[in-house]
Chain A
């Protein structure tokens, strides 16, 4: 994350996406309020995606990734910590910024709580899945577009359940089922995906 500008860049991107939405769909508050949870989720997801290639790129270029690989720490731990770092610098700020941007989209009163909760629960999964994608494309020049193509389909379940929690919450419906499923996706990816990311990284460092 050093010198990457990942921290501010993701946030600014999130802001820009949300600001552009009223320009594209029109300034009706009722319509904006209805789509606000989905727009916030999509914006957060895209902002997350934007900073993925920075997870390993700089360490790959200056060779510190090789040093990390030869360290006594298992590769699984390295990718997990990398994912955690990505979440702390990208996911968490997005969660904190979401309510402010919700204001711009006239998000209904009940929605704030569930947008924050769903993003807080869901963005770790986005970071872990994204770390897998970043590990896949680490050695490639101009891998950014490929990274998006690989990662976006993997984001589908997280997005569905996360946005469903936010939408149902904003409409005042019961959110337990999608909330539990979202939590399940996050826990499952945190538990299992680092093994795949580590395996992929080992191949790329061969």
Chain B
């Protein structure tokens, strides 16, 4: 019929076909880099002279924090694509990414707390970075809850997309608001192009590898979850059709 229906039916199929081939590679590569980065970081780097071996939690903390933000960024982009192009896979990818982002945020918060206890002497402080991650966590919760609450798929996609856009603005506002509200305990950026006190190469290289591992892991999980969402939706349509025939 028109282009709209072409998008609707052709793309999920093509998406499944493409990811059928791509997914094993991405997943394998994710396992490889993640394993390599973590093993390298945990067992083959020297202890920090001030922080001892606790510093090694950085190989989980930094990559998960990175992905917590990037997952939201990805949801923002896919939400925009859905609003503009009505591309169903896009909306489903945003839906698939949200729980992954939520878990990444949780990992960043938990590893941060475990790291903070010996280093700062406290599990939690109302530091701007910690606080904004907690707020991000709440945004993820709200987004996922809204998806779960609405029955109609298209309505849910529309509403969550707009929530994602509005939420992004407010998340950014909150980030700067908490900066204003409390001075930080958290150290500055560990990786930056700006000059200043930075990590040595021996720590940096395994960190880069585990960051790549987390990115690949995220991609693999989102692809997998998006495929599941597509199939779940197909299943629902099939069940509904069957009911119609029997009724």
Contacts and interface: CB of A to CB of B under 8 A. Distances in A.
B167 A154 contact: yes
A190 to B, nearest CB: 14
A49 to B, nearest CB: 14
A153 B142 contact: yes
A136 B167 contact: no
Contact of B159 (A157, A178, A204): A204
Contacts of A156: 135, 170, 173-174, 177-178
A164 B177 CA distance: 10
B21 to A, nearest CB: 36
Interface stretch (B23-31, B68-76, B144-152): B144-152
A140 B167 CA distance: 20
A160 interface: yes
B149 A140 contact: yes
B2 to A, nearest CB: 19
A9 to B, nearest CB: 24
B149 A160 contact: no
A196 B171 CA distance: 16
Nearest to A145: B145
B138 interface: yes
Interface residues of B, number: 25
Interface in A155-195: 156-157, 160-161, 164, 177-178, 181, 185, 193
A150 interface: yes
Interface string A194-206: 0010011001101
B139 interface: yes
A146 B177 contact: no
Contacts of B159: 136, 200, 203-204
Contacts of A181: 177, 180
B22 interface: no
Specify which of B146, B158, B170 lies most central, judged by the most chain A CB atoms within 10 Å of its CB: B170
B183 to A, nearest CB: 13
Interface in B158-200: 158-159, 162-163, 165-167, 170-171, 173-174, 177-178, 180-181
A47 B145 CA distance: 23
A75 B185 CA distance: 46
B141 interface: yes
Contacts of A161: 177, 180
A199 B174 CA distance: 23
B228 interface: no
B155 interface: yes
Nearest to B148: A146
A178 B180 contact: yes
B246 to A, nearest CB: 28
A149 interface: yes
Given A200-B159, A200-B162, A204-B159, A153 B150 contact: no
Nearest to B182: A160
Contacts of A177: 180
A149 B162 contact: no
Given A164-B181, A196-B162, A157 B149 contact: no
A157 B135 CA distance: 11
Contact of B166 (A146, A154, A206): A154
A143 B145 CA distance: 11
Contacts of B177: 156-157, 160-161, 181
Given A137-B149, A160-B180, 14 more contacts: A139-B155, A146-B145, A146-B149, A150-B163, A153-B139, A156-B135, A156-B173, A156-B178, A160-B181, A164-B181, A185-B173, A200-B159, A200-B162, A204-B155
7 contacts: A143-B149, A146-B142, A146-B149, A157-B174, A161-B180, A185-B173, A193-B166
Interface of B: 135, 138-139, 141-142, 145-146, 149-150, 155, 158-159, 162-163, 165-167, 170-171, 173-174, 177-178, 180-181
